[in-house]
Amino acid sequence: MSETYPLLITCPKGLSPWLAKEIQELGLPVERELPLGVQTRGSLREAMRLNLHLRIGHRVLLELKYFNAPNAAMLHARAVKIPWEEWIPSDGYVTVHASVSARGREHSGHAALKVKDAVVDRIRKRTGRRPDAGPEQRGAAVFLHWQGDRATVYLDTSGEPLSKRGYRLQPHKAPLQETLAAAIVVASGYRDGHFVNPMCGSGSLACEAALLACNVAPGLLRERFAFMGLLGYDACLFNRLREQAEAARRHAPKGRIVVTDHDPAAVEAARANAQRAGMEKYMEFAVCDFQETTVPSVSSELPGTILLNPEYGMRLGEEEALAETYAAIGDFFKQHCPGYTGGVFTGNPVLSKRVGLKTRRRIPFFNAKIECRLLLYELYSGSRKGS
């Protein structure tokens, strides 16, 4: 548990700066920031802790070997030299997945099969038995990154991506992935206080804000990680890590979390997801137009953040129809939200101009393949329908 290894924390495009800050806040060094991840270093214990606490990362990969492999035969020959019998039980289960990037190279499924063969061949030769292998996420997990002639083999200590918290079973329309939602909330500057989320959709932003305000480690919502299928997994140690995370939880947010949508199905989905996340009791739900959303009063001791994720208008004719909505968001901010940090997350730069307010920051993100911006506004003047 004390030996250290290179750890690669993967994330979607655009999230690595926020992931790097999160890793540093957890007390680990940032050795390298990559377009799709962050390189750090730590023990298997640290890998377990990262899986438990990370809000923005997708997988915690522990590097085992980095080698030259110009072809599939060499890939197997090098991978079979890794001491798999020290990591994977001979009576256990292993799944192997791969990312392959090279012209004319075998597809990822074939490359993963070569590594799987290396794993079971090595373990059978050393122990006389071999683990079962397949696509199910119920044992150890191995990941291959094969780019050009260079191959890196990792233990995937996460298994299912960390974005799959387990609470979002009702996605509604085009939901934000949980890790992206968490990054947006963090980038807005929200830590606690009032959080207002009109146009809530399935409630990902509100759920992630509540988890952050209550200091709930997202991994507490999951029952299983792939490191549990490794030899030497210390269940007592992980239970202690969970207990420490539970002890660090706050009893409730300091402010109110207001969640609204004009679509009753969206509000119902958001409520159900919040209930599974254990956050429903901290939220106030309402079916209404975003302009009718209750906006609690703020103070220097109790700040407020309001975030909206309006439609982007990607289809022909939709952009013109949404122009009035974006203009109305600006009016709503000015008239009802003084003292707040306002945020609009959008993938449409033309529509974003219709908000009509001067931005404090324009933070780039990607929602799948769509380049987006989180537009942040400091809201100073106007009247408000406070409560």
Kindly state the average pLDDT of the residues 246-254: 94
- Beta-bridge partners for 283: 257
- The answer on pLDDT for 384 being more than 50 is no
Q: What is the C-alpha separation between 341 and 363, in angstroms, rounded?
A: 14
Put the strands of the sheet holding 194-197 in their side by side order: 283-287, 257-261, 194-197, 304-308, 340-346, 370-378, 361-367
Q: Which of 50-54, 110-114, 355-359, 381-385 has the lowest mean pLDDT?
A: 381-385
Token pair, residue 67, equals 């080698």
Eight-class DSSP state of 85: G
Looking only at Cα atoms, what is the longest distance across the chain?
76
| β-strand pairing of 194-197 with 257-261 | parallel
Secondary element (H or E) of residue 283: strand 283-287
Eight-class DSSP state of 158: S
Q: In this structure, are residues 269 and 200 in contact, taking their beta carbons and an 8 Å threshold?
A: no
Q: What is the C-alpha separation between 196 and 199, in angstroms, rounded?
A: 10
Q: How far is CA 130 from CA 23, 118, 159, 309, in A?
A: 36, 11, 20, 49
pLDDT tens digit sequence for 310-332? 999 866 567 788 999 999 999 99
Per-residue confidence band for 101, with pLDDT thresholds at 50, 70 and 90: confident
Percentage of the residues of the chain whose pLDDT score is greater than 90? 88
Q: What is the C-alpha separation between 282 and 252, in angstroms, rounded?
A: 7
Question: What is the value of pTM for the model shown?
Answer: 0.93
Across the chain, mean pLDDT equals: 93
Q: Residue 380 is which amino acid?
A: Y
Per-residue confidence band for 386, with pLDDT thresholds at 50, 70 and 90: very low
Q: In this structure, are residues 92 and 84 in contact, taking their beta carbons and an 8 Å threshold?
A: no
pLDDT tens digit sequence for 3-44? 999 999 999 999 999 999 999 999 999 999 999 999 999 999
Write down the pLDDT at residue 107.
79
Write down the pLDDT at residue 169.
79
Which domains, ranges and CATH numbers included, belong to the chain? 4-156 (3.30.2130.30), 178-215+250-378 (3.40.50.150)
From the CB of residue 239, how many other CB atoms can be counted at a distance below 10 Å?
10
Alpha helices in the chain (DSSP H): 16-25, 44-53, 72-79, 108-127, 178-187, 204-213, 235-247, 264-276, 318-336, 349-352
Eight-class DSSP state of 226: G
Write down the pLDDT at residue 383.
35
Write down the pLDDT at residue 367.
94
Write down the pLDDT at residue 170.
67
DSSP letter string over 338-374?
Answer: TTEEEEEEES-HHHHGGG-S--SEEEEEEETTEEEEE
| β-strand pairing of 132-133 with 59-68 | unpaired
Report CA 181 to chain centroid distance, whole Å.
7
Percentage of the residues of the chain whose pLDDT score is greater than 70? 95
